[in-house]
Amino acid sequence: MKINILSGALGAEILNFSLNTITNDNFKILNDLLLEHKVVFFRDQNITPEELMYLGSLFGTVEEHAYVKGLENFPQITRIVKAANEKNQWGEGWHSDVSYDLKPCKTIILRSIKIPPVGGDTVFSNMELAWETLDKDIKNIIHDKKALHESNGSKFFVENYSQMESNGTLGEKYSNEHPIVRTHPETGNKILFVNPTYTKKILGIPENDSNKLLEKIFRHQERLDLSCRFKWTDNAIAILDNRCTQHYAIADFYPGRGLGHERIMDRIAIVGDQPF
Ligand code: SIN
């Protein structure tokens, strides 16, 4: 096994490690790598949907997506398709997945099926480092506060994308309140747990102050020195710790520039803990 670090902030590409022959014994190595690097990448992984599900099950219970219908025989596998004639891309904009759930997923596994010849990278960002480097005055205001997270409804996940199919939850919205600074249940590290896609309000302060503070925090979170960027190839896998990272799928291969390409990914997510 060889480890190539992607940036000083987070992310490592792991070479000579087969995810389809993983056992309970070497799962500990994988989980330790994930806890250390927060997102780990593997190329040329010929993994079947059954093997992907097995890999996910080593982390915990694999859940179905709140809005999107999964594959016919594997309802927990969400196929994310950006069609060639579309500009919009699922996962565009900084977010941690389903932070509006009571127990937002702890681990996400993304598998690339079809990657455009140019563009379509995903950027990941370290939210422990975001907390460490946040302005002291802002830290003092928010350290014991909670924020409201809200799913943007089914339109956000399905109706904007021609190839994404609803699981029937049209019109449903989900919301929950979580501590702004959460503790990682496995490492004990502090994490800045708000994101510009789903966090709507800091609770216990006037709305105007909440808007201003959130805006400052979101600008801080998108600092490039907190991030790493992964250039996908077909059959690559990313495993990310959704508790302490955010990610952003870049849609820079759209028809407007004559770059109308299709991009297809499979995604599974593992049930997490209630943030504390
Ligand atoms: C997502 O945000 O869940 C998808 C990320 C990607 O397609 O790169």
| 212-242 residue pLDDT tens | 999 999 999 999 999 999 999 999 999 999 9
Residue 49 pLDDT: 96
Statement: residue 245 has pLDDT above 90? yes
Residue 256 pLDDT: 67
pLDDT tens track for 4-19: 999 999 999 999 999 9
The Å distance, Cα 6 to ligand 1 centre, comes to: 18
Higher pLDDT, residue 25 or 126:
126
Q: Which of 267, 268, 270 to mutate to test the pocket of ligand 1 (most atoms within 8 A of CB)?
A: 267
When pLDDT is cut at 50, 70 and 90, the band that residue 255 belongs to is low
Residue spans per domain, the chain? 2-270
| Distance between CA atoms of residues 18 and 43, nearest Å | 9
High-pLDDT (> 70) share of the chain, % = 99
The Å distance, Cα 90 to ligand 1 centre, comes to: 6
Higher pLDDT, residue 133 or 152:
133
What value does the mean pLDDT of the chain take?
Answer: 95
Mean pLDDT of 58-70: 95
| Distance between CA atoms of residues 78 and 90, nearest Å | 11
Query: Which of 145, 154, 193 shows the shortest CA–CA distance to 174?
Result: 154
Give the H/E segment covering residue 58. helix 49-59
The Å distance, Cα 249 to ligand 1 centre, comes to: 5
**Ligand 1 shell residues, CB under 6 Å:** 80, 90-91, 97, 110, 122, 247, 249, 265, 267
| Distance between CA atoms of residues 251 and 270, nearest Å | 25
The atom of ligand 1 lying closest to the CA of 108 is 3
Mean pLDDT of 94-123: 96
Left (φ > 0), alpha (ψ -120 to 50) or beta: where does 204 sit? left
The atom of ligand 1 lying closest to the CA of 263 is 7
Mean pLDDT of 18-40: 93
Name the CATH superfamily, with its identifier, for domain 2-270: Clavaminate synthase-like (3.60.130.10)
Residue 251 DSSP code: -
Statement: residue 169 has pLDDT above 80? yes
One-letter amino acid for residue 217 of the chain = I
How many angstroms separate the first and last alpha carbons of the chain? 35
Dig out the tokens for 155 from the structure.
């339109």
Q: Phi then psi for 134, rounded to 5 degrees?
A: -70, 145
Residue nearest to atom 6 of ligand 1 (CA): 249
The Å distance, Cα 28 to ligand 1 centre, comes to: 25
The Å distance, Cα 136 to ligand 1 centre, comes to: 32
When pLDDT is cut at 50, 70 and 90, the band that residue 186 belongs to is very high
In terms of pTM, does the model score above 0.85?
Answer: yes
Residue 153 pLDDT: 86
